[in-house]
Amino acid sequence: MRTLAQRRVPLAIVLALALAIRLAAGVWWQSRLGDERSFGFPDSATYWELGQHIARGQPYEFGPHQTRILRTPGYPLVLAALMRVVGDDPPAMWARALGAVIGTLAVLCVAYLAWILFDDTVALIAAAMAALYPGAIAISTFVLSEAPFCLLMLLQLVLWVAAWRQGRTSPAAALAVASGLAAGAAVMMRPSWLLFTPFAAAIGIAFFPHRKRHLLLVVVMLAAICAVMAPWWIRNYRLAGRPVLTTSQVGASLYDGLSPEATGASDMQFVERFRNVQRQEDETAATPPAGLFEVRVDRRMLDASIEWTRQNPRRALELALIKLGRTWNVWPNAEELRSVPMRIVVTLGFVPLIILAICGAWRHLRQGWPYVLCVLPAVYVSLLHIVFVGSIRYREPPMMVLIVLAAALAAPVVWRRVSRERTESPKTSEIDRD
């Protein structure tokens, strides 16, 4: 099996194409918005302001309510690093260009994962698929945390597979540490990734051989994740007076997905109502409440969602199916993205790829744990978003992993066609000479 370095020319062409497409998509999207400092998504403004605060050395807080644990600092730190280089209030296109570079590195990670699981031919095909996949292009274009999260998620999986395949204990442990560090950084980008590592490891321990090896690797990985997140946990405990593992938005996210107002889509208008109720309760309390106001509001929404779900299990099940459908829909759910051209692009990009991925999984999962690991991000995201709201935005990082299995199925067909063309070309040239 040839190394990727031996395929550096075609791989470099694919990566250059991936970067060019992502930069062009960023320019096109920004031109639609008009203002050079418009983002297109409300969440982007949150990340941007927090990034500015870090770059300027200001307190890490956001908005008129001065929320301090609303977002994990992963993506704001990325934006802050950019702002330290180009200025603390650059046009949004700078962030889109950075996203294009990060997205291109994710394509390289897809190629590397395909190479270590299969061969260099599958790696090139997987890279080409990832370079052209509309969902991957989109997450590299928007000023959202998905692009760096996707790269870190892929790094975690690549290092996890490498650790599993390493025969000696010390190198395996070192690779597991690196995988855990990538996983911890991924959680700091997207807090919903927090439970993936124990989820995947539990499946490995329960259903696959070499349980001691699974256990050793996951213990090392979890220790590395804790090392990455410890500063955030310590800060949150000092501010809130109680443990906050990720953010003060868990309750809001759960209520968004499970409540009398839930539809499967996201609509956070209820948050202000809960804030007003909590504010009134605080004002009439006999003693000043301890901790942060935002954490008390979050707890109130969490309790309300759990109570509603307990009383309405049938509606909760209906919502679960709706949210699963939204996550794996063949075209965009949002009205502003449901134009005919957008539907065609998303559908033609997604449907053939997911069919290939499902067939590839059916063929290769029996080969063992590293191949099953390629499917688990999609399973995890599906389970997570039957609880929280559903959107095709959340499936795109797992799709980057499924591309590896899709490419493995497509590779023999592509290789046979290329080989046939090579063998037929001399005959053609002889006929031409005659």
Write down the domain spans for the chain. 4-420
Per the listing, tokens 């499970």 go with 258
CB pairs under 8 A, 24+ apart, for 155-159? 155/109, 155/179, 155/182, 156/180, 156/182, 156/183, 156/186, 156/197, 157/113, 157/373, 157/374, 157/377, 157/401, 158/109, 158/112, 158/113, 158/116
pLDDT given at position 413:
73
pLDDT given at position 96:
97
Phi, psi (rounded to 5 degrees) for 268: -90, 20
55 close to 64: Cβ distance less than 8 angstroms: no
pLDDT given at position 290:
83
pLDDT given at position 40:
83
pLDDT (tens, 9 = 90+) of the chain, 434 residues, equals 566 777 789 999 999 999 999 999 999 999 988 888 888 888 999 999 999 999 999 999 988 878 999 999 999 999 999 999 999 889 999 999 999 999 999 999 999 999 999 999 999 999 999 999 999 999 999 999 999 999 999 999 999 999 999 878 899 999 999 999 999 999 999 999 999 999 999 999 999 999 999 999 999 999 999 999 999 999 999 999 999 999 999 999 999 999 999 999 999 999 999 999 999 999 988 888 888 999 999 999 999 999 999 999 999 999 999 999 999 999 888 776 677 888 898 999 999 999 999 999 999 999 999 999 999 999 999 999 999 999 999 999 999 999 999 999 998 877 666 555 555 554 433 333 33
